[in-house]
Amino acid sequence: MFRDYNLTNISLPLKVLFTSYLCVVAIGYIMATAQILLTHGMADGKFGLSIDDIVYSYYGNRSGTLLENKLDGSMKENASDADRLAMIKWVHDGAKESTFKSQGIDKIFENNCLACHSAEAGMGLPDFTQFENIKAVAAGDTGASFSSLTRVSHIHLFGISFIFFFVGLIFVMAKMDSVILKSVAVAMPFVSQLMDISSWWLTKFDPMFAWVVIIGGTGMGLAFALMWVVSMYEMWLMKPVDD
C-alpha cells in the first residue's frame, strides 16, 4: 500500500477522511492542553504550567493540606472568598467532625463541591458526601494518590497510543526524503508518552523528576505538530508525486 500511494496522490475521499480525522484530533489536543492549564496549571494558584504546578500535582505541597492547597489553587474559582476562608479556618482548627455541621461547613461543601465530588457525579473524584473522604483531604498534601495515578496512567496509555497510531499511520505515507527523520517522528510520541507517564510516578517520590514531565509532554506536542503539518501540507498543497 505505502509503496503505491503517498499523501500527494491518494484519492479525494481518502484525503477528506484523513483530513477530517486530523482536524478532530487537533481540536481534541487543544482542548486537552486547555484542560491541563485549568487543572494542573492552577495548582500553584497562578495560570500557566510551571514546575511548581507539576510538583504540587504529583508530589504535593507538603507545607499545607490538600484541601487548603486546592482552595488556593485549581479550585479557587469554585467557591466564594467567604466560603474558602471558612473551610480553610476549619482545617486550621483541626478539621473536627464535631464542628463540621455546627460551623456550617457541611453546607459549604454541599453548595460548592458535591456537584463534582459525589458518587452520583461519576467523575472519579473523592466522594465528599462521606466525611472520612473530606478528612483525608484535610490532612497533609502528598499529591496524587496511587489509585488516581493508576487510573489516569492506563487511560492515557491506551487512549493516546491509539491517537498517535493513526496519526503516525497517515504520516508514514508522507513523501519525506529522510527515512530516519520519518522513523524518529513516528516513534517520538510513544517514547515521550512513556517518559511523561513514568515521570508522574517518579515525581510522586521525588520532585526533581517534574522536569521530565515537561520534557515528555513537550516531545509529544512537537511530534504531533510535525506529523500534522507535514501530512496536511502534502495532501492539499504539494503537487502530486509518483513513486
Q: For residue 217, how many other CB atoms are within 10 A of its CB?
A: 19
Identity of the amino acid at 210? A
Whether the predicted pLDDT of 240 surpasses 80: yes
Residue 144 vs residues 78, 121, 182, 200: alpha-carbon distances, Å: 20, 20, 36, 9
User: What is the pLDDT at residue 90?
Assistant: 93
Task: Provide the residue count of the chain.
Answer: 243
φ/ψ bin of 122: left (φ > 0), alpha (ψ from -120 to 50), beta (otherwise): left
Is residue 58 exposed (0-12), middle (13-18) or buried (19+ Cβ within 10 Å)? buried
- Give every CB contact of residue 131 below 8 A, 6+ residues apart in sequence: 97, 100
Average pLDDT (188-207) is: 97
Identity of the amino acid at 201? W
Q: Torsions phi, psi of 18, nearest 5?
A: -60, -45
Average pLDDT (87-103) is: 90
Of 164, 161, 150, the residue nearest 198 (C-alpha):
150
User: pTM higher than 0.85 for the full model?
Assistant: no
Whether the predicted pLDDT of 101 surpasses 80: yes
46-70, pLDDT tens digit by residue? 888 999 999 999 999 887 888 888 8
Rounded to whole angstroms, the Cα distance separating 198 from 180 reads 26
The mean pLDDT value of the chain amounts to 91
Rounded to whole angstroms, the Cα distance separating 217 from 117 reads 28
134-185, pLDDT tens digit by residue? 998 888 788 888 999 999 999 999 999 999 999 999 999 998 888 999 999 9
Average pLDDT (113-138) is: 89
Q: Torsions phi, psi of 64, nearest 5?
A: -150, -170
Whether the predicted pLDDT of 33 surpasses 80: yes
DSSP state of 41: G
The gap from C-alpha 38 to its chain's centroid, in whole angstroms, comes to 10
Rounded to whole angstroms, the Cα distance separating 243 from 230 reads 18
